[in-house]
Amino acid sequence: MITHCFAPRDLDRLRSHGHEIILTPSDDPGHLAGAWSENAASLDLALTGWDSPPITDAMLDGAPGLRAIVHAAGSVKPFIPPSIWRRGIRLASCNDALGVVVAETTLGMIICGLKGFFPCAEVTRSGGWQNEFLSLPGFQPRELYDVTIGIIGASRVGRHVIRLLKTFEARVLVSDPHLDQEEAASLGVECVDLDELVAQSDVVSLHAPALESTRGMLKAKHFRAMKDGAIFINTARGMIVDEEAMTAELSTGRIWAFLDVTNPEPPPASHPFRSLRNVILTPHIAGALTNGSRRMGRSAVEQILEFARGEVMQGEITMDRLAHLA
Active site residues: 237, 265, 284
CB atoms under 10 Å from CB of 6, counted, come to 24
From residue 156, give the alpha-carbon distance in Å to each of 3, 164, 236, 315: 26, 12, 11, 11
Nearest-10 Cα torsion for 140, 143, 148, 153: 110
Amino acid at 111: I
Quote the CA–CA distance of 166 and 187 in Å, as a whole number: 10
> Is the four-CA dihedral 146, 150, 154, 159 of positive or negative sign?
negative
Secondary structure E strands in the chain? 45-48, 68-71, 90-93, 145-152, 169-175, 190-191, 203-206, 231-234, 256-259, 279-281
User: Is the bond leading into 266 cis (omega within 30 degrees of zero)?
Assistant: yes
